[in-house]
Amino acid sequence: MLEVDQITTRYGAITALHSASLEVRAGELVALVGPNGAGKTTLLNTVAGLLRPATGSIRFEGNDIPGTEPARLVRAGLALVPEHRRIFK
């Protein structure tokens, strides 16, 4: 369903995420944990299309997604809900 293979994401000259890989299959529940600054948000923002990876590949349901508009990814079923947005108010 979701395959992240060896992605590197940079903010200018700073590498924020180096060679990250992740696979999530249909029906799986996955938790991404780590200390502040570990790259969790950068990884999720890259998968959601808010950042573009410098290297590596991201596939969602068999389709390459880097460069795809975030709105198209949401329509395809891939979305990121940031914290502290009071979505259940």
pLDDT attached to residue 85: 64
pTM of the model: 0.84
Distance separating alpha carbons of residues 32 and 17, to the nearest angstrom: 14
What's the rounded Cα separation, in Å, for the pair 78 and 76? 6
In this prediction, residue 6 has a pLDDT band, given cuts at 50, 70 and 90, of: very high
Q: Where are the domains of the chain?
A: 2-76
The tens digit of pLDDT for each residue in 59-88 reads 999 999 988 888 898 899 888 887 776 666
Mean pLDDT of 32-52: 93
Indicate the average pLDDT of the chain: 91
- The CATH number of 2-76, from 3.90.1150.10, 3.30.43.10, 3.40.50.300, 3.40.50.620, is 3.40.50.300
